[in-house]
Amino acid sequence: MKERTYEKYFRQNRLPHIWCPGCGNGIAMKAIVQAVEMRGLPRDKTIIVSGIGCSSRASGYMDFDTLHTAHGRAIPFATGIKLANPELNVIVITGDGDCTAIGGNHFIHGARRNIDLTVVLFNNTIYGMTGGQASPMTPLHKKATTAPYGSVDRPFDACNLAQAAGASYVARSTAFHVQHMTDMIAEGISCRGFAFIETVVQCPTAYGRKNKMPDPAEMMKWMRDNAVMKTAWDRMPEEKKADKFPIGVFHRHQAVEYTEAYSEVITLAQEGGK
């Protein structure tokens, strides 16, 4: 058997991970380490930062310097790490609640600053860790323990949000499209600026069961059937879009990166502040 070289990026003594059978987080975590390997990031100069949630437990399994922060706060911690030592590659792992509810303000401001982080949102459209409450990304009319009659809260499109806030790179993929997901993340890592990748992952336990899709493979087939590549999506008539959603790269725009902008501030200040 050929060596699976990405396996060296896992803390073998921590596996198996705590996620439920069929949870999509494992697929996304592997995509991240494969993207890191593709990009050849030096392991000791790569930092993984996560918030709180099932998804955010990923940091504990990854053999880098890893930081499991507080709920919603991964981006500020990551910003501090990057600003303190711009030579580090900083990858943020966050959940839909972590990133767009409690951490929503940090998310848009990170994008606005365009600081060089790669933010990967594991979107299971639910609060997994706390047992299935609605998140700001729970689709309309879907059920959650706190939306027993179906959610009436309109969901965020986190990709639109990131783009509007100023991110340099914005993409989406799914746990079905594993190779595509890896490519989307790898391109985000290459981007010098705020890169945001939303990856749709199945949560059979807290979301699937409540929404008549308890089988993880069925959830992945739903992704296969409903995700539409960006190019096809753009040509698709509105009436056909209904439950479908686009994947691919939505936005690339290399604006000035924040730590680079700040290094100019340092130069100015050291010249006596003209």
Ligand X SMILES: Cc1ncc(C[n+]2csc(CCOP(=O)(O)OP(=O)(O)O)c2C)c(N)n1
Closest CA to 107 of 97, 250, 52: 97
Alpha carbon distances (Å) from 185 to 38, 149, 197: 10, 36, 6
DSSP-assigned letter for residue 274: -
**Nearest-approach distance from CB 87 to ligand X, in angstroms:** 30
Q: Which does 114 bind (CB under 5 to 8 A by kind): Mg ion, ligand X, another protein, none?
A: none
DSSP-assigned letter for residue 168: S
Gap between the Cα atoms of 163 and 115, Å rounded: 14
Q: Which does 98 bind (CB under 5 to 8 A by kind): Mg ion, another protein, ligand X, none?
A: ligand X
Residue ranges with strand state E in the chain: 46-50, 65-68, 89-95, 117-123, 169-174, 195-200, 227-229, 245-252
Mask for 45-74, x = binds ligand SF4 (CB under 6 A): ---------x--------------------
Residue 74 in contact with residue 103, Cβ under 8 Å? yes
Q: Which of 72, 97, 128, 136 binds ligand SF4 (CB under 6 A)?
A: 128
**Nearest-approach distance from CB 73 to ligand SF4, in angstroms:** 20
- Grouping H, G, I as helix, E, B as strand and the rest as coil, residue 250 is strand
**Range 98-127, binding another protein (CB under 8 A):** 105-106, 109
Contacting residues toward another protein, per CB under 8 A = 1-2, 4, 7, 10, 14-17, 19-27, 30, 43-45, 47, 49, 59-60, 63-70, 73, 75-85, 87-88, 105-106, 109, 175-176, 178-179, 204, 215-218, 220-221, 262, 265-266, 268-270, 273
Contacting residues toward ligand SF4, per CB under 6 A = 19-20, 23, 25, 54, 124, 128-129, 203-206
